[in-house]
Amino acid sequence: MRTLFIGGTRRGYQTLAALLDAGANITGIISLRQDEHETDRFEEPIKVLAGERGIPCYETKWLKDRDYASILRDEIKPDIAYVVGCRILIPPDVYEIPSRGTLAVHDSLLPEYRGFAPLNWSILNGEDHTGVTLFHVSEVMDGGDIVCQKSVPIGPDDTAAEVYERVCQATVDVVLEAHPLLAAGTAPRIPQDYAQGSFTCSRSPAEGEIDWSKSTRAIYDQIRALTRPYPGAYTFLGTKKVIIWAARPMDNAPRYVGRIPGRVVGRNAGEVHVLTGDGILRLLEVQVEGEASAAAPTVFTSVRATLGLRAADLLERIKKLEELLNNK
Which pTM does this prediction carry? 0.91
What is the C-alpha separation between 262 and 305, in angstroms, rounded?
A: 8
Question: How many CB atoms sit inside 10 A of residue 269's CB?
Answer: 6
Helix (H, G, I), strand (E, B) or coil at 304: coil
DSSP character string of 161-221: HHHHHHHHHHHHHHHHHHHHHHHHT----B---TTSS-EE----GGGGB--TTS-HHHHHH
CATH topology of domain 2-200: Rossmann fold (3.40.50)
At residue 35, the pLDDT reads: 84
What is the C-alpha separation between 169 and 240, in angstroms, rounded?
A: 38
What is the C-alpha separation between 145 and 23, in angstroms, rounded?
A: 26
CATH number of 205-310: 3.10.25.10
At residue 88, the pLDDT reads: 86
Note whether 270 and 297 are within 8 A (CB). Answer: yes
At residue 16, the pLDDT reads: 98
At residue 154, the pLDDT reads: 98
What is the C-alpha separation between 279 and 145, in angstroms, rounded?
A: 45
At residue 64, the pLDDT reads: 87
At residue 208, the pLDDT reads: 97
Q: Write out the residue limits of the CATH 3.10.25.10 domain(s) in the chain.
A: 205-310
At residue 111, the pLDDT reads: 97
At residue 315, the pLDDT reads: 84
Q: Write out the residue limits of the CATH 3.40.50.170 domain(s) in the chain.
A: 2-200
List the pLDDT tens digit at each of the 328 positions of the chain.
Answer: 999 999 999 999 999 999 999 999 999 999 999 988 787 899 999 999 999 999 999 999 998 888 999 999 999 999 999 999 998 889 999 999 999 999 999 999 999 999 999 999 999 999 999 999 999 999 999 999 999 999 999 999 999 999 999 999 999 999 999 999 999 999 999 999 999 999 999 999 999 999 999 999 999 999 999 999 899 999 999 889 999 999 999 999 999 999 999 999 999 989 999 999 999 999 999 999 999 999 999 999 999 999 998 887 778 878 888 888 888 7
Q: Residue 231 has what DSSP assignment?
A: -
Helix (H, G, I), strand (E, B) or coil at 265: strand
Closest CA to 137 of 125, 146, 126, 124: 146
Please give the angle made by the CA atoms of 294, 229 and 204, to the nearest 5 degrees.
105
At residue 318, the pLDDT reads: 86
At residue 269, the pLDDT reads: 86
